[in-house]
Chains A and B, each alone.
Chain A
Amino acid sequence: MKKIPPSYHEEKAGIAERELIDAFEQLVREDYPNPNRIGCPSKQLLRQLAVLSAPKLQFLFDHIVRCAPCLKEYDRLRREAKSPTKVSP
């Protein structure tokens, strides 16, 4: 696998973006388990956000980053939405 060289900002901070993303996933799971799904948007709204990235629904990102079940659901919906021809960058 080709190793991506660190960006200028990563080098300056001494942290890889990938490390931050991994820590972020762990943090959401640990700090925001939200088992009772308090304040969660409907599945339909999450789907619209995941599939269409509807600008009007982007306020939901603020909830998703603080709710482990919603983040999981959002990830699943995004994976579903990806067409087989699309390749993630």
Chain B
Amino acid sequence: MASSPHNRPIWWDRDLDRMGRPIRRDVREAAHEIWDRACSRARNKLGDDSDAAEIMEVCVERVSHYLNRRSVPLPAPRIAGLLMAAFHRQVQKRRLKKERLELLGGCSDLDHRFQAPDWSASIDLGLDLKQILRRLSARSTRILLRRREGVDWKSIARELGIKDSAAQVGFWREVRQAQLDLLKGDSGKKREAKKTASEGGNDRSDEEDTPLVP
């Protein structure tokens, strides 16, 4: 996990990407090298650097995959520049997206999405949480088991052989990603159901749609 003395957001420096492919060491090192500059770029373009960590993780994965696809030997020259360019592109994309979005509420409104006001909503929440859990990786499920036993994050990180905050940040990031996937899936399913209904086809249950990620 990359950290900063100035209380900046941290990015998850990991060995494998989300597809399970190894991330190149030279790219990860370059990311550490440009991290301060990248944060400053994100602040300038986006107003704050809260998204910088996420953007950096995406860029590290992409650049590493790009270099591997082209069989560039380790260590590749001028990676910092390549990574910075990729980061800048992502920041620009995010800025444009931000400008297109109409804000309907703040961060606190997102909390209400996962709060249950009555018993039926409580059942829905339970189902949502199970769907989230089914999407977690084996590592995050294991982390949850250890948290259930009251094991602190530091010990969990030690067990997994990763840096202290990486376990916590990585776990919650997966939870939020699963939430987002579910939200996207909900709207996708509604569209699908509409289409199936209009075609007179069979409907499928939520369970069948959701892959059980080991």
Contact = CB atoms under 8 A, between A and B. Distances in A.
A16 to B, nearest CB: 9
A55 B159 contact: yes
Interface in B103-134: 107, 110-115, 125-126, 129-130, 132-134
A24 B144 contact: yes
B175 interface: yes
Contacts of B148: 21, 24-25
B152 interface: yes
B145 A14 contact: no
A85 to B, nearest CB: 16
Given A9-B172, A24-B133, A62-B138, A14 B115 contact: yes
A3 B8 CA distance: 29
A31 to B, nearest CB: 8
B40 interface: no
B193 to A, nearest CB: 24
Contact of A65 (B107, B142, B152): B142
Contacts of A78: 149
A58 B137 CA distance: 16
A1 interface: no
A17 B159 contact: no
A61 B145 contact: yes
A19 B64 CA distance: 37
Q: Is the interface of B mostly helix, strand, loop or mixed?
A: helix
Interface in B133-167: 133-134, 138, 141-142, 144-150, 152, 159
Nearest to A58: B159
Nearest to A30: B130
Interface of B: 107, 110-115, 125-126, 129-130, 132-134, 138, 141-142, 144-150, 152, 159, 168-169, 171-172, 175-176, 179
21 contacts: A9-B168, A9-B169, A12-B107, A12-B176, A13-B176, A14-B179, A15-B129, A20-B133, A20-B175, A21-B147, A23-B126, A24-B145, A24-B148, A25-B148, A27-B134, A61-B145, A64-B145, A65-B138, A65-B144, A88-B150, A89-B150
Interface of A: 9-15, 17, 19-21, 23-27, 30-31, 55, 58, 61-62, 64-65, 78, 88-89
Given A14-B114, A14-B115, 18 more contacts: A10-B172, A15-B114, A15-B129, A15-B132, A21-B147, A23-B130, A23-B132, A24-B145, A26-B130, A27-B133, A31-B134, A61-B142, A62-B138, A62-B142, A64-B145, A65-B138, A78-B149, A89-B150
